[in-house]
Amino acid sequence: MKMNPIFNLLRRTMFAALAATTIACGGDDPVVPQLPGGGNNGQDGTEEEKPEIKPDEGITLYGLVSDSEGNPLEGIVVSDGYSVVATDAKGVYQIVRSANAKYVFISAPSGYEIPTQANYGSYQGTYQAANSLTGSSTKPYRADFTLTKLSQSDTRFLLFGLGDPQPDNDEHIKRFRTETVPDVKKIKADYTIPTVGIALGDILGKGDAQTFTSMKRALGETGVPFFTTIGNHDKSSVDYTGDTYRDVLGPRWYSFNRGEVHFVAMDNCLFSGQDYTGGFTDEQVAWLEKDLSFVPTSKMIVLYYHIPLRDTNYRNRQKVLDLISKYQNPTLMCAHTHYFQPYHMRSHNLFERIHGGTCGYFWRSNCGGDGTPNGFMVYEIDGTKIVDTYFKASQRPDDHQIRLYHGDAVFAGPYATYKYDLGADVVVANVFAAGMDGTTWKVELSEDGGKTWSDMSPIEQNYGDRWIRGYHIGVEHHPTESGTSPCYHQYQYKLKDAAATAIEVRATDSFGHVYTQDTFTADNDFTEAEKY
């Protein structure tokens, strides 16, 4: 349902008027969340406890960045989304606030905990209001930040990459909370190094501020400091501008640091009316240039956004890629397509990791259109290098990484039938995350129980996964698009012995992970795809 523009205007006006309150609606999730701290402009009774700051003439936004013991922190980068400055030796920053700025945010520095928001668990709290709640203050506005030193080095840390959570309703949010969140929590518990997470857009599929708030709370339940970036549905389902997303989840472009890595989030969903394309606004590019001016080229850059940058015609694409290409191991992360695709940009020697949907096919099953189970990626980063990468299928064992089909398999329902038509002597393997480490995986087959091995050959991606088509289209009667996604991680092998029974497939990535599978999915067996 398309939103009436007048209704949206009234709603945003109401949100501004109620921003200092929490309104319960639909359970314990407030519609308008409390900001992660207000300014110290004489409004919270704490100004007397802070050193007095007299801003320079013409400054409209300023503040103190200090550690938890009250020591000023120099060199902390602060921005209103337009100007970018660093704190001085006294820990003070000063900005001439843009008229368009809603927030002031810090580029959370390495070596310190990522601030989180009261009442929202581990959801990141690196931003504050950049002005009084009414916007009517004519005097300079003060907003202070306090950072807590990490108890361990964050040079090595764990990164969670979640593509398209995209709930449409409370049932979908419940599935995210009961299927995805427990897996993130379990993996976090298995590591002793710091963690951080990024959700790569389409935080909702349908909904409003209430849906954003519920997802904000769900991300905070993971125990991992989570950041988000905006997707096309986060605009088109609500207000087309991204204002509601911003009001609940925070800035649409910003940066933060972990160890030797500088993370940059950007909004690349450009709407013209109800139509959208990928790209970056001029104001974002101008901000990015200023932000990166504080980042040594010896650092690694992770740029994350929603829509893949494969299309060379996207606005300001070249400028953004040029800016990050001079850094160590610049890495691109996005989602949007609901299928996993490793993509190499030869022109800039960049690698784009396109993440499948955490929601799969919009929570209508347990798999995406490429046959990959609902799930997410995990990256371990040490210094300026990714030293480990793996896919985690939601609510599945860690080693659930391959599905096998016979070449003559038939997957059918009352509405449609799909076949591989490759012959009974052909084996097909869908290796879910193959290539997401940026390399060509070694995928092999043994006909004799593991004594000898032969290489499998990639299948043309447009051939698609016939099994998931049989379920989504043939059984569930979902639209054809639900199963016709390309599959960039399918392999085939023609058996030397058509009667072989001791068949096993193994896939080896660049980090030494070896995944194996010897069980075939039988004709019309859709158990794995069915909702829990």
For 362-389, how does the pLDDT look when each residue is reduced to its tens digit (9 = 90+)? 999 999 999 999 999 999 999 999 999 9
Closest CA relative to residue 265, chosen from 332, 220, 192: 332
Residue 248, phi then psi, degrees to nearest 5: -95, -45
Residue 190, phi then psi, degrees to nearest 5: -80, -10
Tracing tokens 């995805």 back to the chain, one arrives at 180
pLDDT (0 to 100) of residue 138: 63
Domain match, 425 and 296 both: no
What's the gap between Cα 410 and its chain centre? 35
pLDDT (0 to 100) of residue 18: 37
Could you give the 3-state DSSP secondary structure of residue 458? strand
Host domain of residue 468: 402-517
Q: Within the chain, which residues score under 70 in pLDDT? A: 1-49, 132-138, 532
CATH value at residue 167: 3.60.21.10
Token representation of residue 361: 């096919």
Closest CA relative to residue 116, chosen from 233, 212, 256, 230: 256
* The CA-based dihedral angle spanning residues 370, 371, 373, 374, taken in that order and rounded to the nearest 10 degrees: 40
Residue 93 lies in a domain: no
Which DSSP letter does residue 422 get?
A: S
**Alpha helices, DSSP H, located in 268-417:** 282-292, 317-325
Contact 436, 389 (CB under 8 A): yes
Contact 440, 434 (CB under 8 A): no
Residue 370 lies in a domain: yes
Contact 197, 224 (CB under 8 A): yes
Domain match, 424 and 282 both: no
Residue 149, phi then psi, degrees to nearest 5: -65, 135
Q: What single letter denotes the amino acid at residue 140?
A: P
Domain match, 175 and 268 both: yes
Token representation of residue 129: 């209001």
pLDDT (0 to 100) of residue 373: 98
Residue 218 lies in a domain: yes
pLDDT (0 to 100) of residue 277: 96
Closest CA relative to residue 265, chosen from 226, 295, 313, 230: 230
From CA 423, how far away is CA 301, in angstroms rounded?
A: 46
What's the gap between Cα 247 and its chain centre? 19
From CA 366, how far away is CA 344, in angstroms rounded?
A: 28
Token representation of residue 3: 């939103």
From CA 518, how far away is CA 526, in angstroms rounded?
A: 18
Number of domains in the chain: 2
The count of other CB atoms within 10 Å of the CB of residue 38 is 17
Angle between helix 317-325 and helix 282-292 axes, rounded to 10 deg = 10
pLDDT (0 to 100) of residue 51: 87
The count of other CB atoms within 10 Å of the CB of residue 325 is 14
Stated length of the chain: 532
Domain match, 246 and 309 both: yes
Closest CA relative to residue 388, chosen from 84, 158, 117: 158
Residue 143 lies in a domain: no
Tracing tokens 């945003």 back to the chain, one arrives at 12
Q: What single letter denotes the amino acid at residue 70?
A: G
Q: Which one of 338, 359, 393 terminates a domain?
A: 393
The count of other CB atoms within 10 Å of the CB of residue 319 is 14
pLDDT (0 to 100) of residue 348: 87
Domain match, 190 and 289 both: yes
Q: 164-192 pLDDT, tens per residue?
A: 999 999 999 999 999 999 999 999 999 99
Instruction: List all residues 6 or more positions away from 434 whose beta carbon is below 8 Å from its beta carbon.
Output: 441, 443, 488, 489, 491, 507, 509
Residue 411 lies in a domain: yes
b/e 74-112 (16+ beta carbons within 10 angstroms → b): eebbbbbbbbbbebeeebbbbbebbeebbbbbbbbbbeb
The count of other CB atoms within 10 Å of the CB of residue 152 is 11
Token representation of residue 334: 């996005």
Q: Which one of 393, 416, 436 terminates a domain?
A: 393
Domain match, 272 and 421 both: no
Residue 340 lies in a domain: yes
From CA 424, how far away is CA 501, in angstroms rounded?
A: 12
Domain match, 347 and 408 both: no
The count of other CB atoms within 10 Å of the CB of residue 28 is 10
Residue 73 lies in a domain: no
Tracing tokens 């069915």 back to the chain, one arrives at 530
Sheet holding 341-345, edge to edge: 254-258, 261-265, 300-304, 328-334, 350-354, 341-345
pLDDT (0 to 100) of residue 36: 60
* The CA-based dihedral angle spanning residues 217, 218, 221, 227, taken in that order and rounded to the nearest 10 degrees: -80
Q: Which residues pair with 160 in a beta bridge?
A: 197, 378
Closest CA relative to residue 515, chosen from 390, 357, 339, 406: 390
DSSP string, 144-199: -EEE-B-SS--SEEEEEEEB-----SHHHHHHIIIIIHHHHHHHHHH--S-EEEEE
Q: How many Cα atoms occupy the beta-carbon half-sphere of 34 within 13 Å?
A: 13
pLDDT (0 to 100) of residue 39: 46
Contact 149, 115 (CB under 8 A): no
Reported pTM: 0.92
Q: Which one of 360, 393, 426 terminates a domain?
A: 393
Contact 164, 372 (CB under 8 A): no
Contact 92, 59 (CB under 8 A): no
Domain match, 280 and 302 both: yes
Domain match, 414 and 466 both: yes
Domain match, 205 and 258 both: yes
Could you give the 3-state DSSP secondary structure of residue 94? strand
pLDDT (0 to 100) of residue 135: 54
Residue 453 lies in a domain: yes
Domain match, 382 and 427 both: no
Domain match, 207 and 240 both: yes
